[in-house]
Structure 1
Amino acid sequence: MRTDRTLTRLDRVFARLDREPERPAHLEIPRMSRHRTVLFGSTLGFYLAIVVAVLTTSWLVRLDWQIMFFRPYEQWPELHAFLDYFVVLGQRGPTAVMVAAWLGWRSWRQHTLRPLITLGVSLLLLNVTVGAVKLGLGRLGPHYATQIGSAELFAGGDIFPSGHTANAVVTWGILAYLASTLRTRRYLSVLSAVVALGVGATTVYLGTHWVSDVLLGWAAGLLILLALPWFEPLIAVAEAWILARRDELRTRLRERRAPVPVPVPVPVGVRPAMYPQRIPAVEEEPPVRKPVGTGRGAATVSATSSRTTAHLSSPKPHTVRSERTPVTPVGGRRPPHPERVSRNPSARPLAGG
């Protein structure tokens, strides 16, 4: 009986991710090609044209007022509840957290910090460029407009260009920029474009932005995505520096966690177990000088020497000098002499003989 089950699309996706422990070697870092350069120049021209059209209060400003008076949220009120939640996809905080979580997991799987650093660089460029234009032009939004037909510039506002739209283009477009395969990059490019267009149109529907704000927001976000290849060398340097600091920190932590050997006090008279116990050497007896005489005295000395040699060669265990019984030579201290007459008081000769 076969027990194989049909793999779902989700199973195939996770199986593919499991086979990708490192960054694919075939994936090339995007370069500033001729095609990308042409797109960047065209988008920059469109960006400047929108700014000039608003500054000169051209037909684009009149279109802004016509759509504002049309009030789309009153024409289609049934979409209001859904679009209130959909516009969150353009808010910087929630979208940055979601995309950073995904790219963080990709960085851990691929053993590289490039996705997270690229996201940080793109958000930094977005805040600097869009924020500077917002504060510099100071345009008011539709709900705060004071003069009909006016561009409402330099009035202390911060609505031009649309931050929601530019953030949607950059945040979701960075996923397509960092895609692993060409097919995935195409799918994510279409998805990010749909989300960015939807967020921009939603802000116009809700009446929070002019049409010109949304157009400039699309152009501002696309300029950042197209300019990212110029920052790839900087991203590589930042990644190498961060990894070097991480390795230094790991080395320091390992050195701090390494156990320090503590010397163990050894009691007096006890040798450590790492050194072998030595058997005390047996001190040899001083050599016995042979006396001048011969005969019985010489025989006695020879017998003493043989007993000492037999004692040393015996298989008995050696003992310390202080524990051995002293050896006393047999007989008197003075060796006997054959010609010496014993002192017997009864054998003393009589005087006068």
Structure 2
Amino acid sequence: MRTQTNDAAPLGRPGKDVAGRSPERRWPPLTRTHKILFGAVIVLYAVVVVGVLTNSWMVALDWDTMLIRPYKRWPQLLPYLNVWIIAGQRGPSAIAACIWLVWRSHRARSMRPLLVMGTALLLLNMTVGGVKIVTGRLGPHYAHYMGSPELFAGGQIFPSGHTANSVVTWGVLAYLAVRHRRAGALVAGITAASIGLTTVYLGTHWISDVLAGWTAGVLVLLVLPLFEPVITSVDDRIQQLWRGRRGASQPSPAPATAQGWSGWDQAVRDELAGVGGFSDDQTDRPTGRPTGRRGIPG
């Protein structure tokens, strides 16, 4: 594999500058599309929250949907959706996700997949859990007054934790995917949508609960890239401690092409190069023709 060199880089030890300092890692800033999407989701989340707090048309929509009682109108779906909603809970979904994350961490020799999931779930619990406690909303099966938003009554139903958790859990798996990322994102979206709609069918959540859960989960995924420097720093420290316990005196110096890359980044870079046969100059090995693809994940 050919590698690119930086002729303007100062001479020095591999992985360090002339002053002996480690190169500073720089993550690209959020794109304009990312910022626009983040702003739009925040506005949507605020609209749902304010709509519920002010007993607006959002609450009327909740009651209209609840009074339809979908689980009674289409009872033939009840056995299947009962199983599906249980599979979508945090316990079963977390077990399935952790199996893949442990395998991914082992293959890349990096704790980053588990750290990313842990960070996402921590953000989810802090944000969604906080709103649940503050609003204290009751679910449809425990509602007391027709047309009431059922707020500050000791419940913990708004936003929907089921829905937000499915968005974050499966969204993180798509976020960490090296290949088939678009397919993973599509599967994550379908799963999160079906879990939310199933809670409405069963009458365990209001429509506004699900809308708030979807947007809250998406906000966690949009904020997650901002925590990458911290995640990578922790991952590097864990790897250094592990090498120290195995008797390594110091980490081996990084090659010139990996300056500023974490262990996870380099593992993904090597995996893509090995699987797809791409080099840094974006040429096809057998023919030497440009492929139009990058060998480094975006």
Query: Would you call these one fold, judging by a TM-score over 0.5?
Result: yes
Which of 231, 238, 241 lines up with 1:235 in the alignment? 231
Q: Tell me which residue corresponds to 2:131.
A: 133
Q: Tell me which residue corresponds to 1:154.
A: 152
Which of 31, 45, 48 lines up with 2:46 in the alignment? 48
Cα gap change, 1:34/1:71 in structure 2, threshold over 3 Å: closer, same or farther?
same
1:68 and 2:62 equivalent?
A: no
CA contact (8 A) 1:54 1:61 kept: yes
Cα gap change, 1:31/1:123 in structure 2, threshold over 3 Å: closer, same or farther?
farther
In 2, distance between residues paired with 1:236 and 1:120? Answer: 13
In 2, distance between residues paired with 1:147 and 1:249? Answer: 62
CA contact (8 A) 1:30 1:229 kept: no
- State the 1:38 CA deviation: 0.9
Deviating beyond 4 angstroms after TM superposition, the runs of 4 or more aligned structure 1 residues are none
1:198 and 2:194 equivalent?
A: yes
Q: Tell me which residue corresponds to 2:81.
A: 83
Q: What is the RMSD computed on CA atoms of the aligned residues?
A: 1.6
TM normalised by structure 2 equals 0.72
Q: Which deviates further from its counterpart, 201-210 or 34-43? A: 34-43
In 2, distance between residues paired with 1:31 and 1:117? Answer: 21
In 2, distance between residues paired with 1:109 and 1:237? Answer: 19
- State the 1:244 CA deviation: 2.0
Alignment of 1:1-353 (within 5 A): 32-181=30-179, 184-251=180-247
Cα gap change, 1:51/1:177 in structure 2, threshold over 3 Å: closer, same or farther?
same
Amino acid at match of 1:237: S
In 2, distance between residues paired with 1:199 and 1:36? Answer: 25
In 2, distance between residues paired with 1:94 and 1:104? Answer: 16
- 5+ residue gaps in structure 2? 1-26, 249-298
Aligned residue for 1:51, secondary structure, equals helix
Amino acid at match of 1:188: G
In 2, distance between residues paired with 1:249 and 1:111? Answer: 15
Amino acid at match of 1:219: T
Cα deviation digits, residues 212-268 of structure 1 (max 9, x gap): 00000000000011111100001011101211222233339xxxxxxxxxxxxxxxx
Amino acid at match of 1:52: V
Aligned residue for 1:191, secondary structure, equals helix
- State the 1:89 CA deviation: 3.6
Larger RCO of the pair (alpha carbons < 8 Å, separation 6+)? 2
CA contact (8 A) 2:135 2:158 kept: yes
Q: Tell me which residue corresponds to 1:299.
A: none
In 2, distance between residues paired with 1:93 and 1:30? Answer: 35
Q: Tell me which residue corresponds to 1:269.
A: none
CA contact (8 A) 2:116 2:231 kept: yes
Q: Tell me which residue corresponds to 1:288.
A: none
CA contact (8 A) 1:89 1:199 kept: no
CA contact (8 A) 1:137 1:153 kept: yes
CA contact (8 A) 1:176 1:186 kept: yes
In 1, distance between residues paired with 2:192 and 2:216? Answer: 12
In 2, distance between residues paired with 1:245 and 1:31? Answer: 30
CA contact (8 A) 2:171 2:185 kept: yes
> Aligned pairs, how many?
223
- 5+ residue gaps in structure 1? 1-28, 253-353
- State the 1:154 CA deviation: 0.6
CA contact (8 A) 1:170 1:224 kept: yes
Cα deviation digits, residues 255-310 of structure 1 (max 9, x gap): xxxxxxxxxxxxxxxxxxxxxxxxxxxxxxxxxxxxxxxxxxxxxxxxxxxxxxxx
Give % identity.
53
- Structure number with greater Rg is 1
In 2, distance between residues paired with 1:68 and 1:31? Answer: 43
